[in-house]
Amino acid sequence: MAEIILSLNCGSSSAKYQVYHWEEKKIMAKGIVERVTIGDSFIKHEVPGRDEFVEHRECPNHKNALALIIEILTRKGPGVLDDISEISAVGHRVVHGGEKFAKSVRITEESLKTFKDLCPLAPLHNPPNIQGIEAAMEVLPDVPHIAVMDTAFLQTMPATSYIYAVPYEWYEKYGVRRYGFHGTSHLYVSKRAAVMLKKGPFECNLITCHIGNGVSFTAIKNGVAFDHSMGLTPLEGLVMGTRSGDLDPAIIPFICGKTGMSVDDVEKVLNKKSGLLGITGKFTDRRDILKAADEGDKRAKLAIEIEAYRIRKYIGAYYAALGRLDAVVFTAGVGEMSPEIRGMALEGMEPMGIKIDKERNEAAHTRNKELVISADDSKVKVLVIPTDEEYVFTADVVAILEDRYDIHTNFEYSFQRPDYVNKMREEAYAKELEASKG
């Protein structure tokens, strides 16, 4: 039986990890190795109930980073394992699974080749994901490795939602279509929303709003993804921390012609120097932007207003697409922690049946509690649900190992049950309340 699961999320210069004890339903440890491949690497390691542990160690590649993670997990003092053989399996985040995968899968030579073939569709994400997989399989060759795709939950979208109005052969030959991302987050919060609404998971129409540095919205119809804001890549959609979101594609050749920049250069600017950073010129963190706006920074004020407007615009469009709406769900760092942005985004939507309670909204500032922030007479509920992508990762891995896993429409997660409680979050929220009183 699966007991201890290691989850890995390898980016271009980082390796995030979590060790989860499935039987005891608790996080044993989590952390991140930062600045992998670029120098001055270090690991930040957290164990519940202990002080954060930090160690500097050069990691010129992901194999070194994985070796460091294994060493810290088993070292006397910061470690939580007596031996690495205690790990039952490893779950890996893979950003792009294309049309090939509608659910998590065991990693084989064939599936790994498919992820490599998809690299042109996710050049910033899939290559480091693959490097992490290959490094982990070399460091931990005797355990199963499972891939959990960001795109899998969104494979239920109809062609009317995912086909672009470009030559159809681009889709047939090159796979140009809307794929969407943050699928594990949208899956988790949509299932939890159904519990909060006291409805079956496939009775709900929802708009799930994942707002962090990256931002994606999903229109969910009868419990499955119907439309999504991100596209072929995570660049399309809402205003993000450093990504532009929607724009006129003719801007790209226009700027190339004006500046002499290459298409690749402009694409990098759209991904890494646009969005809120592009508008403000210096900020990506919404807390910094809100503070600057309060102090009279006009561009900071404009940036927040643009983000709130785009959020409101997408909610309105998806409401129209769904025809009936049970709830708007906010999640991820900003969605969970920013009453200001939630309030600005939903301002003036009362005629559409979306009415927030200002006091409830102001009080909803936690990553450890599911809360209703809509007014009692709001036709559409507004929910704040802290996401838990790592739990979805772990649940998928365990179910695959136990040969009981399937696509989410044929599979019940433990967190879909009305009696499900995340004990660690419950304890953390109790401490937050106690701290606020004292």
Digit-coded pLDDT (tens) for 274-283: 999 999 999 9
Does residue 409 lie in a domain region? no
Does residue 281 lie in a domain region? yes
DSSP assignment string, 140-158: STTS-EEEEETTGGGGG--
My answer on whether 73 and 14 are in the same domain is: yes
Does residue 267 lie in a domain region? yes
My answer on whether 47 and 132 are in the same domain is: yes
My answer on whether 269 and 331 are in the same domain is: yes
My answer on whether 205 and 315 are in the same domain is: yes
In the prediction, which pLDDT does 292 show?
96
Amino acid at 386: P
Last residue of a domain, one of 149, 177, 210: 149
Does residue 290 lie in a domain region? yes
My answer on whether 136 and 260 are in the same domain is: no
My answer on whether 223 and 369 are in the same domain is: yes
- Tens of pLDDT, residue by residue over 253-291, are 999 999 999 999 999 999 989 999 999 999 988 999 999
- pTM equals 0.91
Does residue 174 lie in a domain region? no
Is 150 among the catalytic positions?
yes
Count of domains for the chain: 2
Within 8 A by CB and 6+ apart from 296, the residues are none
CATH number at residue 239: 3.30.420.40
Residue 438: pLDDT band (50, 70, 90) is: low
Q: How far is CA 275 from CA 178, 269, 310, 424, in A?
A: 20, 10, 12, 34
Helix axes 251-259, 263-272, angle to 10 degrees: 110
- Tens of pLDDT, residue by residue over 100-118, are 888 898 998 888 888 888 7
Q: Which of 51, 83, 117, 150 is catalytic?
A: 150
My answer on whether 251 and 381 are in the same domain is: yes
My answer on whether 58 and 203 are in the same domain is: no
More confident: 320 or 2: 320
Alpha-carbon distance of 327 to 22, in angstroms, equals: 31
pLDDT of residue 135 exceeding 90: no
My answer on whether 261 and 138 are in the same domain is: no
Antiparallel, parallel or unpaired: β 215-221 and 105-106? unpaired
Does residue 181 lie in a domain region? no
In the prediction, which pLDDT does 169 show?
97
My answer on whether 211 and 352 are in the same domain is: yes
Last residue of a domain, one of 113, 129, 149: 149
Last residue of a domain, one of 149, 177, 209: 149
Q: What is the SS3 assignment for 102?
A: coil
Antiparallel, parallel or unpaired: β 371-372 and 215-221? unpaired
More confident: 340 or 389: 340
Within 8 A by CB and 6+ apart from 348, the residues are 312
Longest dimension (CA), the chain: 64
- Tens of pLDDT, residue by residue over 185-221, are 999 999 999 999 999 999 999 999 999 888 999 999 9
Domain that holds residue 35: 4-149
Does residue 422 lie in a domain region? no
Does residue 222 lie in a domain region? yes
Residue 333: pLDDT band (50, 70, 90) is: confident
My answer on whether 19 and 103 are in the same domain is: yes
